Chain A
């Protein structure tokens, strides 16, 4: 396993989001193997019937993934050569959080991100963090572009692996939002105390250059990659990632 430390640094990390077993088990593993030398970390989504805060492309991957639910994560065991975190909706696991987190730990995940935690299960933040730590996992937090400042301050005190800022209203859909301003606001609150990762509708080298310039610690690519492999296969997806990586290291 190659570990690229997720830290606050001048080196912006490239993170690839994939929904486990999309479009099928074989292709999913092929993608992982093909792009592992490019990406610094994977974010793997647990296929769910209700990807409520995702946009149309990621929703489609949840609905068409070959294996549904936690069983889809079995494929990761022994097949990951890079650090990875698990993304899942708390709504699906709220009654059996320990089972979910144990599974994440067993397959070697580094951390866990639950995008609805801070919106729909706000009272469970302490429990989530404590349970993550109990299973040797690092908590990650998802925040929106209009998140209360004091609450961001509070999240930093949990010493998460990173805070993930959604740049857009949902994944993969680009609205005319002044993302540079929003990133700077939350970067100024977080400072160097915790890595700030951003995602949603990032699709070009120009996008990642801008985000690198304003000091984000990681960029997540999801919908753009899915669209690219749907258009012309895994090799096209690889080329996209290579172009983004070049923009990050140049």
Chain B
């Protein structure tokens, strides 16, 4: 019932047993799960020593993003200009049934649905928050947006958003991905962004790390530190745009789940998404988890977060206060973390290499409302291959983690089970991953 407030919902068709797509409009509001959590989110904190990192946020982030980070509002209005951009880039995205995959797995009356964010021009869900953040940065009078990226999805999304809003864009890309994923880097440059391998010589932390190892593979934590340090050199002109972890990022991504709820022909029993920092997972599942917490639906639905065994914060990390960045410039947040200095091995799903998970997701995992599993990349890429051959879509290696979990869950599911997952991005620029892991030359 609540959805009707926010949507001009108009289901166009339900076509027999396919029951594939229903058309909805772009949501008018984002959803903030903090209002409905069973326990409060622990506050951000300053470390014991040094200047106030909380105070520093005003020099780094667009002001409206700070407001949203600390907002008590359950429904946050989406500015008209951002909604228009969402429409311009192709929202709402489709919600489809994976019938061929169901058949390939030999499932009996188990339905698998997926929301496909890969149709966006960035190829992933990341554009949903990049557009909002760039809009707010411009509102603040900033000329340049700065960020970090690993696989390149966030960097590409930021580059597109900057181009659409007519802003300069600087990206710190983890060195491992900078080398192994030149396609996205080139696309960022085509869009007008300047891309630096991280660690770089541009910042103090970058120089320190390069002194120890000229071929340091980098990490998201290091790239965040570099981006923030770079912004602080000219805070009046530059704004830092974070790709995940911060609560406002997850809030922006809830357009995915809000659309999906309106598109669902049947309520899922199991909802699955992969986790890097949590924005994809939160964006898809939080509107449903919120309904569950408010006892308005999804009462029996299980929610499963899928991470990489290369960075298993939810399954092997500690729930504690930690910095989201390696150099500790940003405030402490309470989350599942592997430690801010954690440097994961260079895997193909580079978007899942982050050391921590968003505070709201961490608390949901801690309370048992969200389950967490971790997979190795080989088994994940084989699942991606199966999906590609069945559904004709090459999944991003990150999204393939969700597919692996879907397949495992579906095989054990009883008849009548409905599974939904977020296919957060396509893998058309990840041929290196498919080539190496699957041995395809």
Chain A: minimal CB distance from B86 (Å): 23
Say whether B28 faces chain A, with CB atoms less than 8 Å apart. Answer: no
> Contacts A55-B46, A144-B40 known; A176 to B58 CB distance under 8 Å?
yes
Contact pattern, B 9-53, Cβ under 8 Å of A = 1, otherwise 0: 000000000000000000000001011111111111110100110
Q: A146-B35, A175-B66 are in contact. Are A181 and B43 (CB under 8 A)?
A: no
| A186 cross-chain contacts in B, Cβ below 8 A | 72
Which residues of chain A have C-beta atoms less than 8 A from B247's C-beta? Answer: 146
CA distance A146 to B70 in the complex (A): 6
The answer, yes or no, to whether B67 is at the interface (CB within 8 Å) is yes
Residues of B within 8 A of A173 (CB): 52, 54-55
- A150 and B45 CA atoms in complex are apart in Å by 24
Any chain A CB within 8 A of the CB of B309?
no
Determine whether the beta carbon of A146 is less than 8 Å from that of B71. Answer: yes
Smallest CB separation, B139 vs chain A (Å): 11
Contact of A56 among B36, B38, B46 (CB under 8 A): B46
Within 8 A of B (CB), among A111-164: 118-120, 122, 143-151
Q: B35 to A148, Cβ gap below 8 A? A: yes
Q: B40, A148: Cβ atoms under 8 Å?
A: yes
In the complex, the answer to whether A53 meets B73 with C-beta atoms within 8 Å is no
Q: Is the CB of B67 within 8 A of A178?
A: yes
Q: Which residue of B lies closest to A53 (CB)?
A: B43
Q: Is the CB of A168 within 8 A of B70?
A: yes
CA distance A149 to B55 in the complex (A): 27
A169 interfacial contact with B, CB 8 Å: yes
CB distance from A198 to the nearest CB of B (A): 12
Provide the A81-120 mask, 1 if CB < 8 A to any CB of B, else 0: 0000000000000000000000000000000000000111
Q: How far is the CA of A170 from the CA of B47 in the complex (A)?
A: 12
How far, in angstroms, from A1 to B267 measured CA to CA in the complex? 62
Q: Contact check, A146 vs B54: say whether CB atoms are below 8 A apart.
A: no
Q: For A175, what are the chain B residues with a Cβ–Cβ distance below 8 Å? A: 54-55, 57-58, 66-67, 70
Contact A150 B46 (CB under 8 A): no
Interface size bucket, A side? 20 to 34
Smallest distance from the beta carbon of B332 to chain A beta carbons, Å? 9
* B63 located at the interface, meaning its Cβ lies under 8 Å from any Cβ of chain A in the complex: yes
**Complex contacts, A146 vs chain B, CB 8 Å:** 32, 34-35, 40-41, 70-72, 247
What bracket does the count of chain B residues touching chain A fall in?
20 to 34
* A52 interface residue (CB < 8 Å to B): yes
Is A182 part of the contact surface with B, judged by Cβ < 8 Å? yes
- At the interface, yes or no: B196 with Cβ under 8 Å from chain A? no
Q: Which residues of B contact A52 (CB under 8 A)?
A: 45
Closest to A175 in B: B66
**B39/A122 in contact, CB under 8 A:** yes
| A249 interface contact, C-beta 8 A | no
B292 within 8 Å of A by Cβ?
no
Residues B44 and A169 in contact, CB atoms below 8 Å apart: yes
User: B216 an interface residue at 8 Å Cβ cutoff?
Assistant: no
Chain B residues, CB < 8 A from A143: 40
Structural contact, A119 and B52, CB atoms closer than 8 A: no
Given the known inter-chain contacts A52-B45, A175-B58, please indicate yes or no for A181 contacting B39, CB distance below 8 A: no
Q: Are B70 and A177 in contact (CB under 8 A)?
A: yes
Of all chain B residues, the one with the shortest Cβ separation from A56 is: B52
Alpha-carbon distance A55/B56, docked complex (angstroms) = 12
- Whether A120 touches B72, Cβ cut-off 8 Å, given contacts A169-B54, A176-B63, is no
Across the interface, which residues of A come within 8 angstroms of B63, CB to CB?
A: 176
Shortest B387–chain A CB gap in Å is 37
Residue interface mask B48-91, A partner, CB < 8 A = 1: 10011011011000011011001111100000000000000000
Q: What is the CA–CA distance of A21 and B197 in the complex, to the nearest angstrom?
A: 52
A168 to chain B, nearest CB (A): 7
Cβ B54 vs Cβ A147 within 8 A: no
Q: Tell me if A169 and B36 are in contact (CB < 8 A).
A: no
Instruction: Report yes or no: A145 in contact with B72, Cβ–Cβ below 8 A.
Output: yes
Query: Does A2 make an interface contact (CB < 8 A)?
Result: no
Kindly identify which residue among A122, A151, A177 contacts B67, using a CB–CB cutoff of 8 Å: A177
With a CB–CB cut-off of 8 A, which chain A residues contact B54? 55, 169-170, 173, 175
- A118 contact from B35, B40, B51, B74, Cβ within 8 A: B40
Q: Which residues of A contact B44 (CB under 8 A)?
A: 169-170
B73 proximity list for chain A (CB < 8 A): 181-182, 185
- Contact (Cβ within 8 A) B45 A53: yes
Q: Is the CB of A151 within 8 A of B39?
A: yes
Chain A residues, CB < 8 A from B52 = 55-56, 170, 173
A181 in complex: contacting residue of B51, B66, B72, CB < 8 Å: B72
- On chain A, the residues within 8 Å of B36 by CB distance are 148-150
Q: Determine whether the beta carbon of B57 is less than 8 Å from that of A148.
A: no
- Closest-by-CB residue of B relative to A186 is B72
Interchain CA distance A226-B54 in the complex, whole Å: 19
A143 to B51: give the CA distance in the assembly, Å.
25
Closest to A144 in B: B43
Who on chain B is nearest to A50 by CB? Answer: B48
Tell whether, in the assembled complex, residue B72 and residue A170 are in contact, meaning their CB atoms are under 8 Å apart.
no
What is the distance, in angstroms, from A204's C-beta to the closest C-beta of chain B? 18
CB-CB under 8 A from A122, the residues of chain B are 39-40
Task: Kindly supply a per-residue 1/0 record for chain A positions 46-74, scoring 1 wherever the CB is within 8 Å of any chain B CB and 0 otherwise.
Answer: 00001011011001000000000000000
Minimal Cβ-Cβ distance residue in A for B52: A56
Tell me, rounded to whole Å, the shortest Cβ–Cβ distance linking B68 to chain A.
Answer: 9
A149 vs B74: C-alpha distance in the bound complex, in angstroms? 9
Question: For chain B residues 391-439, which have a beta carbon within 8 Å of chain A?
Answer: none
Complex interface: chain A residues within 8 A of B32 (CB): 146
Could you write out 16 A-B pairs with CB less than 8 Å apart?
Answer: A56-B46, A122-B39, A145-B72, A146-B70, A147-B34, A147-B40, A147-B72, A148-B37, A151-B38, A166-B43, A169-B43, A173-B55, A175-B57, A175-B66, A176-B58, A181-B72
**A interface residues with partner B (beta carbon < 8 Å):** 50, 52-53, 55-56, 59, 118-120, 122, 143-151, 166, 168-170, 173, 175-178, 181-182, 185-186
20 additional contacts, CB 8 Å, given A53-B43, A175-B67, A182-B70?
A: A119-B40, A119-B42, A122-B39, A143-B40, A145-B71, A146-B70, A146-B71, A146-B72, A148-B39, A149-B74, A151-B38, A170-B54, A173-B54, A176-B58, A176-B63, A176-B64, A177-B70, A177-B71, A178-B71, A185-B73
**What are the 10 A-B residue pairs with the smallest beta carbon separation, nearest first?**
A176-B63, A146-B34, A182-B72, A185-B72, A119-B42, A148-B37, A173-B55, A56-B52, A145-B70, A169-B54
